[in-house]
Chains A and B, each alone.
Chain A
Amino acid sequence: VLIGWLAAICAVDAHGAVRESAIKAAYLLKFPNFVEWPAGTFGGAQDPLVIAVYGDDEVAAELEQLTASRRAEGRPVTVRRLREGEPPGKPHILYAAGPREMRARELLASATGPVLTVTDGPAESPDSAVLAFVVADGQVRFNASLTAAAAHNLRLSARLLAVANQVEGRP
């Protein structure tokens, strides 16, 4: 915690503002608290939470740094960087962003089953990703898509939705 906290401080001090990548990484680790995967997704209580990252090395690096000492929802966290063309496999969270938007979109679309898909920037279609980072009022926020969540068989906490910038598919 201390190292993370120090890293965050350093990040703030070094760039004059909290680095987006650090916040996104931290958010990625917090999301599991507000998301409910279908039963049987995790084999055991100590099964690691796998986060696959594509296209944003900064976030991946932040994540790797954070997960060295932090857990998500009480589980160890495994960060997997997806190289170009590498199939996402079966991670619990798939974060796909970066300059190669199409590739990222494809990757997200290819992920099926109970995977929390997260992207950066406003989604082009409601079902492209469950959550999407946006910047509002100079702050990192996120939008949520209930449609996508339902597609991935995930349930998003009401509290998560309460702090979401926009919620798609709310009846």
Chain B
Amino acid sequence: VNLLDRRSIQGKLTRILVVTVGTALLLAAAVLLAVETAKTSASIRRDLVTQADIIGLSSEAALTFNDPKVGEQNLRALSPKHGMVAAAIYDAQGRLFASVRFDSAQPQPPAVRPADGIAFGLQHASVVRPVLQNRERIGSVYILVRHGIVVEILQYLAWLVAVMLASLSGAILLLRRLQRGLTAPILDVSRVAQSVLDRGTFNVRAVRTTDDEVGRLVDAFNAMLDELGNRARVLREANEALSASEARYQLAAQGSSAGLWDWDLDNDTMFVSPRFKTALGYSDSDFPDRPSSLLGIVHPEDQSLLQAAIDAHLADASPLQAECRLRDVRGDWHWFLVTGMARRTAQGRPFRMAGSLVDVTQRKQSELLLHEANQAKDTFLATLAHELRNPLAPLRTGVQILKSPKAAPSTVQRTLETMDRQLTHMVRLIDDLLDISRISSGKIRLELARVSLRRVIQTAVDLGRPAMDAAGHSLSVELPDPDVPLQGDDTRLTQAFGNLLNNAAKYTPPGGRVRIRAWQEGQSAIVEVSDNGIGIPGDMLETVFDLFTQVNEGAERSPGGLGIGLFLVRSLVEMHGGSIAAASAGPGQGTMFTVRLPCVARVAAQDAGAREAVVERGVADEMRVLVVDDNIDAAETLSTFLEMTGMHTRMAHTGPAAVDAALDYRPDVVLLDIGLPGIDGYEVARRIRSRPEVSRVLLIALTGWGTEADQRRAREAGFDHHLTKPVDVGALDALLRQKRRQA
């Protein structure tokens, strides 16, 4: 593997050597050559001049005494061996005086003296020197030689080249031997680096063998390996910590119902956690990492809201929080709480947003239910006000009629019947409300006894008859025969069936047919109330029993109602261990309610006789009744009513007055209002009870509050009975009769 590297490094070194040494040698050779050439040239010149001057000196006499022979002899003295070609002497006038030619191939010396000085050609050199005598020129000497300097230079050059080649070869040989010390450590470093690359481990080291720069390179390389190893380890640890953190984060994300989203605004990609996709049933291919994936499943009605929330967040950095519906893969909508936060650059430009997606469908549904319940409550309250007000109008009118002296007795009678009916309706309404309240708070209690289903239904029919008559319905009653005995609270059962009958009368157009039937079926008593009224839509057969629910089938035909009757009925029936079901063929097809009650073993109906006696009307003579109410009108009307039934009455309007009147008048019965000025009804009752002379008096509380707590408080204060206002005259009458019998 390293052969190539070695060659490469050697090649470089050799090239460097050749270039540097070659350059140095060439430079030296050039300088040597130039110096040598100059030296040779100068030597040639010097020789020429010397020879010319010698010839001139020796030829001075020849010139002086005009002896060309001697001149020629002098010239002959020059040796042709030294490249001499020709020589000549010229007289003072420049004419040729004497000449010799050593090489016949060469031309003759010029006939006329050339100019003084040296003429240096490539092959020849010539000189002309004056011959002076007493500073007077008496002639000239001319010498022409073949100097051979070119050949000399070429020879010199050949020598130089030979020397250069020899030196270079020697240098290269030396380099080959010496460079091993330089390249071996470098190749070692290279080998270590290669092994680090190949194996990915940092535990190998190069060996330092020298103490020069290469040695320091090895040291630095090893230090770098140490550093790399450290960094790799730190990086690995950081990665492990990061993945642990990521795992924790994933666990937390999976543990919560929240999905996570991470929106890269610059690249317009959005990561959404797989858990969120799975929760909505999407696969990765359905849901690519794009913002459009998420925005695409937002409910169209919520998109502008979500966009506005995002815009607001980007504008003022308030936390992003929005609720919107998201579509799952089946097309169902789920409510999600979208929260998030944008990351911004130093310039404030948002480049990334991330946050969570929390499924809040259940909460939203609860909110929706709450909202609906709230709406039902509002509707109920509005209806309640309406329902309470309805009876007041005929009552007020009736009062006006009665006050009129011109009213005929028949008119008075009819008016009184109307008022009585309205009053009854109102009282039942309020009783129902109170019962609802008790049922809701679980405070209602059944006074269980053996009851007769026949009697219960009869009583209910009696109660419902006025409403039936008013609407012109025909009511058919089929009582169970033989009677069905039940374990129950006859008042409550009567209330339940009465409500069913009232309901039937109310939701059947005038002149309709209502039927009530009862029979025994195994261990169950069945009571069926059916009509041919407006019916119930199929989807409401269950909910019709819920509180505040009404069938709003055509508002103009709806007779209104509080939507509490059927709830009450079901609650009462279920308290008796029974069940109720509604059936209807649809709107306008009439309704049938079926009540099932568990029945007990048949026994002789002796209670019936006792009840018959109670129902029988008697005279309440000689009963002394004290009526206490701070509302004078109320006290007076009640007092008047009691006197009309043949009782003695006295009135009191304050607490202390009531106590005094009780002691003074010694009544059999005290009808005592609770909310009195001075001392309240409870205190009055306690004081009366504390006096032995009146301790046997029957104390009946009259309150606007009919809750269980009120009744208990009344009992604790010493009251025998508790009646809610307005007073049910029938109930009062029954109590008074009971008192009289005891007396």
Interface residues of A (CB under 8 A from B): 1, 23, 27, 30, 33-34, 71, 73-74, 139, 141-142, 157, 159-160, 162-163
Contact B134 A74 (CB under 8 A): yes
Contact B61 A71 (CB under 8 A): no
Contact of B70 among A74, A139, A157, A163 (CB under 8 A): A163
Contact A33 B64 (CB under 8 A): yes
Report A-chain residues with C-beta under 8 Å of the C-beta of B133: 30, 33
Q: Which 4 A-B pairs give the minimum distances between C-beta atoms?
A: A159-B61, A163-B67, A163-B61, A30-B64
Contact of B66 among A34, A139, A160, A162 (CB under 8 A): A139
Interface membership of B520, Cβ < 8 A: no
Interface membership of B62, Cβ < 8 A: yes
Contact B134 A160 (CB under 8 A): no
- Between-chain CB contacts (< 8 Å), 16 pairs: A1-B136, A27-B64, A30-B64, A30-B65, A30-B133, A33-B64, A33-B133, A73-B134, A74-B134, A159-B57, A159-B60, A160-B61, A162-B70, A162-B74, A163-B61, A163-B65
How far, in whole Å, are A74 and B67 apart by their CA atoms in the complex? 23
Centre residue among B65, B74, B136 by max chain A CB count within 10 A: B65
| 13 further interface pairs, Cβ-Cβ under 8 Å (given A33-B64, A162-B73) | A1-B136, A27-B64, A27-B65, A30-B133, A33-B133, A34-B61, A159-B58, A162-B58, A162-B61, A162-B62, A162-B74, A163-B67, A163-B70
Contact of A142 among B65, B70, B74 (CB under 8 A): B65
Q: Distance in Å from the Cβ of B64 to the closest Cβ of chain A?
A: 5
Report A-chain residues with C-beta under 8 Å of the C-beta of B61: 34, 157, 159-160, 162-163
Report A-chain residues with C-beta under 8 Å of the C-beta of B67: 141, 163
Contact A33 B134 (CB under 8 A): yes
How far, in whole Å, are A27 and B64 apart by their CA atoms in the complex? 8
How far, in whole Å, are A141 and B67 apart by their CA atoms in the complex? 9
Report B-chain residues with C-beta under 8 Å of the C-beta of A162: 58, 61-62, 70, 73-74
How far, in whole Å, are A163 and B134 apart by their CA atoms in the complex? 19
Q: Distance in Å from the Cβ of A25 to the closest Cβ of chain B?
A: 13
Q: Distance in Å from the Cβ of A168 to the closest Cβ of chain B?
A: 17
Report A-chain residues with C-beta under 8 Å of the C-beta of B60: 33, 159
B contacts with A: majority SS = helix
A71, closest chain B residue (CB): B134
Q: Distance in Å from the Cβ of A119 to the closest Cβ of chain B?
A: 17
Centre residue among B61, B70, B133 by max chain A CB count within 10 A: B61
State which residues 49-69 of B face A: CB under 8 Å.
57-58, 60-62, 64-67
Interchain Cβ contacts within 8 Å, total number: 38
Q: Distance in Å from the Cβ of B91 to the closest Cβ of chain A?
A: 12
A1, closest chain B residue (CB): B136
Report B-chain residues with C-beta under 8 Å of the C-beta of A163: 61-62, 64-65, 67, 70
A27, closest chain B residue (CB): B65
Report B-chain residues with C-beta under 8 Å of the C-beta of A160: 61
Q: Distance in Å from the Cβ of A117 to the closest Cβ of chain B?
A: 18
Q: Distance in Å from the Cβ of B487 to the closest Cβ of chain A?
A: 187
Report B-chain residues with C-beta under 8 Å of the C-beta of A141: 65, 67
How far, in whole Å, are A74 and B134 apart by their CA atoms in the complex? 6
How far, in whole Å, are A73 and B136 apart by their CA atoms in the complex? 11
A75, closest chain B residue (CB): B134
Q: Distance in Å from the Cβ of A99 to the closest Cβ of chain B?
A: 25
B74, closest chain A residue (CB): A162
How far, in whole Å, are A163 and B89 apart by their CA atoms in the complex? 15
Report A-chain residues with C-beta under 8 Å of the C-beta of B73: 162
Q: Distance in Å from the Cβ of B65 to the closest Cβ of chain A?
A: 5
A161, closest chain B residue (CB): B61
Report A-chain residues with C-beta under 8 Å of the C-beta of B65: 27, 30, 141-142, 163
Report A-chain residues with C-beta under 8 Å of the C-beta of B64: 27, 30, 33-34, 163
Q: Distance in Å from the Cβ of B501 to the closest Cβ of chain A?
A: 184
How far, in whole Å, are A159 and B66 apart by their CA atoms in the complex? 13
Q: Distance in Å from the Cβ of B55 to the closest Cβ of chain A?
A: 12
B136, closest chain A residue (CB): A1
Report B-chain residues with C-beta under 8 Å of the C-beta of A71: 134
How far, in whole Å, are A163 and B64 apart by their CA atoms in the complex? 9
Centre residue among A30, A34, A160, A163 by max chain B CB count within 10 A: A163
Q: Distance in Å from the Cβ of A8 to the closest Cβ of chain B?
A: 11
B26-57 CB mask vs A (1 if < 8 Å, else 0) is 00000000000000000000000000000001
How far, in whole Å, are A162 and B265 apart by their CA atoms in the complex? 121
Q: Distance in Å from the Cβ of A84 to the closest Cβ of chain B?
A: 31
Centre residue among B67, B73, B136 by max chain A CB count within 10 A: B67
Report B-chain residues with C-beta under 8 Å of the C-beta of A157: 61
Report B-chain residues with C-beta under 8 Å of the C-beta of A30: 64-65, 133
A160, closest chain B residue (CB): B61
B133, closest chain A residue (CB): A33
Q: Distance in Å from the Cβ of A95 to the closest Cβ of chain B?
A: 16
Q: Distance in Å from the Cβ of A29 to the closest Cβ of chain B?
A: 10
State which residues 129-163 of B face A: CB under 8 Å.
133-134, 136
Report A-chain residues with C-beta under 8 Å of the C-beta of B62: 162-163
How far, in whole Å, are A83 and B58 apart by their CA atoms in the complex? 38
Q: Distance in Å from the Cβ of A93 to the closest Cβ of chain B?
A: 15
Report B-chain residues with C-beta under 8 Å of the C-beta of A1: 136
How far, in whole Å, are A29 and B66 apart by their CA atoms in the complex? 14
Report B-chain residues with C-beta under 8 Å of the C-beta of A74: 134
Report B-chain residues with C-beta under 8 Å of the C-beta of A27: 64-65
Q: Distance in Å from the Cβ of B333 to the closest Cβ of chain A?
A: 141
How far, in whole Å, are A162 and B64 apart by their CA atoms in the complex? 12
How far, in whole Å, are A142 and B60 apart by their CA atoms in the complex? 16
Q: Distance in Å from the Cβ of A66 to the closest Cβ of chain B?
A: 13
How far, in whole Å, are A141 and B58 apart by their CA atoms in the complex? 18
Q: Distance in Å from the Cβ of A97 to the closest Cβ of chain B?
A: 18
How far, in whole Å, are A30 and B136 apart by their CA atoms in the complex? 12
State which residues 700-737 of B face A: CB under 8 Å.
none
A23, closest chain B residue (CB): B66
State which residues 679-719 of B face A: CB under 8 Å.
none
How far, in whole Å, are A142 and B134 apart by their CA atoms in the complex? 22
B62-91 CB mask vs A (1 if < 8 Å, else 0) is 101111001001100000000000000000
Report A-chain residues with C-beta under 8 Å of the C-beta of B70: 162-163
How far, in whole Å, are A33 and B61 apart by their CA atoms in the complex? 9
Report A-chain residues with C-beta under 8 Å of the C-beta of B74: 162
How far, in whole Å, are A23 and B65 apart by their CA atoms in the complex? 9
How far, in whole Å, are A138 and B66 apart by their CA atoms in the complex? 12
Q: Distance in Å from the Cβ of A42 to the closest Cβ of chain B?
A: 15
Centre residue among B58, B67, B134, B136 by max chain A CB count within 10 A: B134
Q: Distance in Å from the Cβ of A34 to the closest Cβ of chain B?
A: 6
Q: Distance in Å from the Cβ of A92 to the closest Cβ of chain B?
A: 16
How far, in whole Å, are A160 and B59 apart by their CA atoms in the complex? 10
How far, in whole Å, are A95 and B64 apart by their CA atoms in the complex? 19
Q: Distance in Å from the Cβ of A86 to the closest Cβ of chain B?
A: 30
How far, in whole Å, are A127 and B23 apart by their CA atoms in the complex? 77
Centre residue among B58, B60, B70, B73 by max chain A CB count within 10 A: B60
Q: Distance in Å from the Cβ of B730 to the closest Cβ of chain A?
A: 192
B134, closest chain A residue (CB): A74
Q: Distance in Å from the Cβ of A125 to the closest Cβ of chain B?
A: 24
Q: Distance in Å from the Cβ of A144 to the closest Cβ of chain B?
A: 11
A74, closest chain B residue (CB): B134
How far, in whole Å, are A131 and B59 apart by their CA atoms in the complex? 20
Report A-chain residues with C-beta under 8 Å of the C-beta of B57: 159
How far, in whole Å, are A23 and B67 apart by their CA atoms in the complex? 13
How far, in whole Å, are A23 and B64 apart by their CA atoms in the complex? 10
Q: Distance in Å from the Cβ of A67 to the closest Cβ of chain B?
A: 14
Q: Distance in Å from the Cβ of B97 to the closest Cβ of chain A?
A: 13
A32, closest chain B residue (CB): B134
B138, closest chain A residue (CB): A30
How far, in whole Å, are A69 and B65 apart by their CA atoms in the complex? 20
How far, in whole Å, are A33 and B62 apart by their CA atoms in the complex? 13
